[in-house]
Amino acid sequence: MNTDSELLAAIAPTSGPTREVHDPATGELVGTVPVEGAAAIDAAVATAKGAQPGWAALAHDQRSAYLLAAADAVHAAAEPLARLLSREQGKPLNGPNARFEVGACEVWLRAAATTVLEPEVLVDDGESHAELHYRPIGVVGAIGPWNWPMMISVWQIAPSLRMGNTVVIKPSEHTPLSVLALVHVINSALPDGVLIAVSGDREAGARLSGHPDIGKVMFTGSTATGKAIIRSSADTVKRLTLELGGNDAGIVLPDVDPTAIAEDLFWGAFINTGQTCAALKRLYVHEDVYDAVCAALTDYARNVPMGVGLDEQNVLGPLQNRQQYDIVASLVEDARAAGARILLGGDPDADAPGNFYPATLVADIADDNPLVQQEQFGPALPIIRYATIDEAVAMANGVDVGLGASVWSADKDAARAVAQRLQSGTVWINSHGGLNPMVPFGGAKQSGYGMEFGVEGLKAVGSPQVVSS
């Protein structure tokens, strides 16, 4: 595929009800997608179930070879995939955005293909021998989000296929074209029936999470939807991996150089225009450096270009959908009304096309303000002043989610000591949100359960079996 138009033609619906998808930056029509329901899920699951025994019968190195071929296919189609992603999701081509996301798809495919998972010898004492193996589960149901639709789909697809499962994936209703195109490209390298995408509505998602022939559900999205999936999976006791909402805290210790950390703080918070589960969403800054950190962040943020994603100079884009735009705008206005100080932004052009909300920094805000306590999932960062480490840790831990967190300090030992007190699945030191395909990732508290990436991620999409002799 040489262009995004060719990709769209390859995945265009041929019959049945359809829905238009529009560019959140311009409002222009991007393409149309099928609107499929429970019947389409049933058909896809039946096909995947039929293909699974043959796929599982292949040796690990044979399945790995297929995944490496799929990574090659993604690499070859990288530019049209990135352009389609930019048009549908809104993220710019450059910066940590569309081209970055497609590149990550290739990286995670290769990582899943080449990660070794050997049987673990549990007992070997001369009298008995026990080993722990991981077998395929069967059919995995994957339900993805709209913020990183391609990359997170690969996080679900690649390890599942590597372990001998087949996959039925339902993309978000906001970003179906990206995932349909990605699956089309990946399937050019795979046997028929092992990976099937269904562009559906809520009925399709509910059927997928409750289908009796689905052995595991992988979901990335809101905590509320995750709870609904837990309930619908109960009757068939499905395995689950849930990466749910986050409201990540960062704690800045008083020994930092504010200018030196400003760029990394900004991108920790504003990557993908703030639409990232593990983005920095609450920044706690010691009173000794509070004003200097606010000033350094403001100086950096005011020079970051925002605009239409296909314009090469932009690195911040629109909110993907108007509903999310309205949430961010409401939270900022409520903070302003409560007396918070807007350092930058907070003044969207209501007459401009697209869902553009400016990069916004909010200072002198109370910890109990909704902008701090609720996940804003957009380009608005509250900056909260603190006096003692105990106070900062208590505020950071004071929400019911715990996906990621970060500590910023010139003294890494001091930062690690604070990190060990934080209730989150990952804590970064002097950065925020960076992921590695070999480093396990998952949440604490109501940010979900189950691990992704590396050896632990492969285990999560396998069924453990102990063989004793």
Residues in contact with 351: Cβ distance below 8 Å, sequence separation at least 6, in sequence order: none
Cβ pair 167, 45 in contact under 8 A: no
Encoded amino acid at 334, one letter: D
Residue 456 falls in the annotated catalytic set: no
243 catalytically annotated: yes
Is 391 exposed, middle or buried (CB count within 10 Å of its CB: 0-12, 13-18, 19+)? Answer: middle
Q: Are 395 and 249 in contact (CB under 8 A)?
A: yes
Joined together, the tokens standing for residue 144 give 């993805």
What is the C-alpha separation between 311 and 297, in angstroms, rounded? Answer: 25
Among residues 88, 243, 375, 452, the one annotated as catalytic is 243
Query: Using CA atoms, how far apart are residues 384 and 282, in angstroms rounded to an integer?
Result: 8
Are 56 and 139 in contact by the 8 Å Cβ rule? The answer is no
Amino acid identity at 322: R
Write down the residue that tokens 């932009």 correspond to: 314
Residue 328 to residue 103: CA distance in whole angstroms? 29
Residues 6+ apart with CB under 8 A from 31: 8, 11, 12, 20, 21, 88, 177
- Catalytic: which of 101, 105, 173, 277? 277
Residue type at 285 in one-letter notation: V
CA-nearest of 173, 244, 156 to 461 is 156
* Bridge partners, residue 444, by sequence: 402
The answer to whether the beta carbons of residues 422 and 396 sit under 8 Å apart is yes
Tokens of 157: 């697809």
Residues 206 and 214: their CA atoms lie apart, in Å, by 12
Q: Give the active site residues.
A: 243, 277
